[in-house]
Amino acid sequence: MPMSYIPEAASVFAKLAVNGAFDELGINPSLAPELKDIDARVRGPVMIAVLSHAQGYLRKLEGVHGNVASQDRNLDGRFLKVASANPPQPIQVWTEQWVFVKRGSRAKEIITAVSELLEEAVLRAKSNNLPEDHAALTEIERAQLIAILETTLAMLRAPMVEPGLLKKTARVAQEVAQKAATTKTEEALGTGLGYLSKKLLDLIASLN
């Protein structure tokens, strides 16, 4: 979507960038040029996630709705507690090879996009407020999905990546996307995971 659709947001992001607030927002610094450029284009789901981060940050500054950071930690603790009580089944991944990703390579560019999609998917999965019987995932399934996504995100921050785990994450993302489409709930999460699955396959192909 063009940033010109919401010029006020571009103005706010420009001020936040000038004041070095992107680190506090938890927003990928690579997005900064686009978010403060009125002529740039940003993917809709990414924009929604970024606006949500910015809103929470500004509310924290204004003291509205209490301590937002504390709420976020409570949310993380909730899913950690569920995952600890019901840990994901051991994931069988056929380790193929560890591949070093060179700076400036196509794989490095795709990793940046995939990392943003992973962060977005984790945010959407954690932000769901539907009753469990109306959601696409049970609390256990959600906690396990978040664990897999965050594990993959952590790996992508390292100098080397393992295609076997990427393939497994792509399959899990596609399965959840199909489930969301079938249940017709959490469609935004499902759409994002479907796109994530495709980008993960693109990343795997670029490593060869």
CATH of the domain at 158: 1.20.120
| Residue 121 near residue 173, CB atoms below 8 Å | yes
The answer to whether residue 37 sits within a structural domain is yes
Domain final residue, candidates 21, 44, 62: 62
Nearest-Å Rg of the Cα atoms of the chain is: 18
- The arithmetic mean of pLDDT across residues 98-118, rounded, is 89
Quick one: tokens of 48?
A: 């929604």
Q: Note whether 165 and 202 are same-domain residues.
A: yes
Q: What is the pLDDT of residues 84-93, one digit of tens each?
A: 666 656 656 5
The answer to whether residue 75 sits within a structural domain is no
Q: Note whether 54 and 93 are same-domain residues.
A: no
Sign of the Cα torsion 135, 92, 196, 45 reads: positive
pLDDT of residue 189: 86
The label of the residue with tokens 């993959």 reads 152
What pTM value is reported for the model? Answer: 0.59
The answer to whether residue 69 sits within a structural domain is no
15 pLDDT tier (thresholds 50, 70, 90):
confident
111 pLDDT tier (thresholds 50, 70, 90):
very high
| Residue 35 near residue 50, CB atoms below 8 Å | yes
The answer to whether residue 119 sits within a structural domain is yes
Domain final residue, candidates 19, 46, 62: 62
Q: Note whether 200 and 137 are same-domain residues.
A: yes
What residue numbers bound the domain in which 193 lies?
Answer: 88-207
Number of domains in the chain: 2
68 pLDDT tier (thresholds 50, 70, 90):
very low
Cα 99 versus chain centre, distance: 23
First to last CA, the chain: 32
The answer to whether residue 73 sits within a structural domain is no
Cα 90 versus chain centre, distance: 23
Q: Note whether 126 and 199 are same-domain residues.
A: yes
The answer to whether residue 14 sits within a structural domain is yes
| Residue 43 near residue 5, CB atoms below 8 Å | no
The answer to whether residue 136 sits within a structural domain is yes
Q: Note whether 189 and 154 are same-domain residues.
A: yes
Cα 69 from Cα 172, distance rounded (Å):
29
